[in-house]
Amino acid sequence: MNNSSSIINLSSPIGPIRGSVTLPSSKSIANRYLILQALSGGKLTVMNLSVSDDTQILKKLLESPPADNIYDAHHAGTTSRFLLAYLAMQPGTQVVTGSERLITRPIKPLAEALISMGADVTYLKEEGHLPIQLGPVPSSLASEVWITGDISSQFITALLLNAHSLPNGLTINIEGELVSKPYVEMTLSILKDVGIESTMTDDKITIGHQPIVEKVLTVESDWSAASYFLGLVTTRPGSEIFMPNLYETSIQGDSHMVDYLYHYGCRYAFENGGLKVWNPADADYTLPPILEMNLEDTPDIFQTLATMHSILGLTCVYTGLSTLPGKETNRIDAMKNELIKVRSIIAELPPRFSSKSQQKYYLQESKATISEVPTFSTYQDHRMAMSLALLSLVGPINIEDPMVVSKSFPHYWDELAKLGFKIT
């Protein structure tokens, strides 16, 4: 599609949606591989690298350091966090910065953890935010650090990726609840795959000083990207989609979305090197009256699920969304704002519902209806654009800033077009 389009009109095909989808490779895995490759001294080769903006920015910055030593991560939160820890442990003086939105996102827990280890970290503007200057690495860094676990698992991963390179290794003490635990487990699995052993308890991870082994690494397809096509199948009876390079043994937390498919009467099978999912048109199945979902381990699929449930008219209670306000946008508020345009409501439940768990609960109800073509904002958030696209199954829609999807899935609209969607 034309990359200069500031708004698109999207309409779905009539009847079942069938076909094969080429997914991008996982940027979560790719970004971890890139940091380890930079630390490996040429021992690691990475294949099937993600074409997402986030990964390509990180690759460029690592392979061709900027002449002015200013590392601009643009909108990429993962890239900025991984770079901050990596550069803090490298020679020389560098600055990590980003877009206007990125510098508002939290980074203080990671920065303060690096300071406590003895790294030279200076806030250039607002305390706790980018841009941050990193001075020369000190002669020694502490081998033990404390960091909060209830804001972003990426802070912990940023430290884990560098731990093996420190002379005395690193023990990370996790304070509070660890959110998005599967992403930390993904990191430890990747480290093990390149020869780095670790030990993990409920509140502590220890990695000793160890060399990376020589290896060729191939990045698997992105399960977060797959979620949108799982959403298409669940909401259009008779549909069937095949997605290559998705595996049952995936280390990606979002692979657990297939565990939810039975709620919607759908089936799946891992075959021919990928995933086939289908929605039997003749199945004798009734949707449940209400669903309860804790998405603490899979927050990136909240937008997909919320859009699906809007289309299906399925009432759902969500919890485990604590990391979403600090993403590219406040994803809870953004979904509230956009789904109300099709008369679907998301509301935070009163505190009495969470008096014991201390969690926040959100109720979604009402079936999406379209009378006039709605125009959806995307908030500079790739996942807003891709999830809201599913609402074209209800009726024609407009989506602003469609190329925001380049952050993780540049050819998303092309894949929809291959399935019969009309994009103008």
> How many angstroms separate the CA atoms of 260 and 230, rounded?
10
Mean pLDDT, range 343-351, rounded to an integer:
92
- pLDDT at residue 355, as a whole number: 53
Residues 203 and 55 in one domain: yes
- Cβ pair 84, 96 in contact under 8 A: yes
Whole-prediction pTM value? 0.87
- Using DSSP's 3-state secondary structure scheme, residue 122 falls into strand
Q: What is the pLDDT of residue 356?
A: 59
Peptide bond into 402 cis (omega under 30): no
pLDDT of 3: 46
The tens digit of pLDDT for each residue in 138-188 reads: 888 999 999 998 888 999 999 999 999 999 999 999 998 888 888 999 999
Q: How many CA atoms lie within 13 A of 203 on its CB side?
A: 7
Whether residue 1 is contained in a domain is answered as: no
pLDDT at 340: 97
Q: Is 2 inside a domain boundary?
A: no
Segment (H or E) for 230: helix 223-235
| Nearest in space to 392 (alpha carbons), one of 414, 422, 424 | 422
Dist CA 292 CA 362 (whole Å): 10
Same domain for 203 and 226 = no
Out of 195, 218, 241, a domain closes at: 218
Instruction: Please indicate, yes or no, whether residues 37 and 67 belong to a single structural domain of this protein.
Output: yes
Domain with 49, as residue range(s), is: 27-218
Residue 366 falls inside a structural domain: yes
- Give tens-digit pLDDT for 358-392: 689 999 999 999 999 999 999 999 999 999 999 99
- Which pLDDT score is estimated for 354? 55
Chain segment 200-234, per-residue pLDDT in tens: 998 999 999 999 999 999 999 999 999 999 999 99
pLDDT confidence band for 353 (50 / 70 / 90): low
pLDDT at 101: 87
Query: Could you tell me which residue, 24 or 350, shows the higher pLDDT?
Result: 24
pLDDT at 2: 46
Known catalytic residue: 203?
no
DSSP state of 221: B
Give the type of residue at 348. E
Does residue 345 surpass a pLDDT of 90?
Answer: yes
* Average pLDDT along the chain: 94
| Total residues found in the chain within this entry | 424
Tokens 């003086």 map to which residue?
Answer: 93
Judgement on whether residues 232 and 374 belong to the same structural domain of the protein:
yes
Residues 146 and 64 in one domain: yes
Tell whether 60 and 118 lie within a shared domain: yes
Give the total number of structural domains in the chain.
Answer: 2
Share of the chain above pLDDT 70, in %: 97
- Of the residues 218, 235, 267, the one at which a domain ends: 218
Least confident of 192-196, 343-347, 359-363, 385-389: 359-363
CATH number of residue 122's parent domain: 3.65.10.10
Mean pLDDT computed over 19-38: 97
Residue owning tokens 């380049």: 406
Percent of the chain with pLDDT over 90: 86
Residue 187 dihedral angles phi and psi, to the nearest 5°: -60, -45
Q: Is the pLDDT score of 4 beyond 80?
A: no
Identify the CA nearest to 187 among candidates 28, 48, 298: 28
Taking the C-alpha atoms of residue 207 and residue 270, their distance in angstroms, rounded to an integer, is 34
Residue 5's pLDDT band, with cuts at 50, 70 and 90, is low
**Do 362 and 418 sit in the same domain of this protein?**
yes
Which tokens belong to 59? 């690759």
Q: What is the average per-residue pLDDT within 339-362?
A: 84
Whether residues 212 and 253 share a domain: the answer is no
Boundary (domain end) residue, out of 218, 236, 253: 218
Same domain? 161 vs 54: yes
Q: Angle at the Cα of 306 (from 304 to 311), degrees rounded to 5?
A: 95
Cα–Cα distance for residue pair 378/329, rounded to 1 Å: 9
Condensed to tens digits (0 to 9), the pLDDT of residues 68-123 reads 999 999 989 999 999 999 999 999 999 999 999 899 988 999 999 999 999 999 99
Whether residues 65 and 18 fall in one domain = no
Q: Which of these is catalytic: 222, 300, 381, 401? A: 300
If asked whether residues 200 and 234 sit together in one domain, one would say no
Give the DSSP per-residue string, 21-69: --PPBPHHHHHHHHHHHHHTTS-EEEES---SHHHHHHHHHHHS--TT-
CA distances from 238 to 16, 110, 232, 233, 416 (A): 5, 47, 11, 8, 17
Residues 257 and 176 in one domain: no
Q: Cα(151)–Cα(390) distance, rounded to whole angstroms?
A: 29
- The mean per-residue pLDDT over the stretch 231-255 comes to 95
Q: DSSP for 277-308?
A: EE--TT------SEEEEE-TT-GGGHHHHHHH
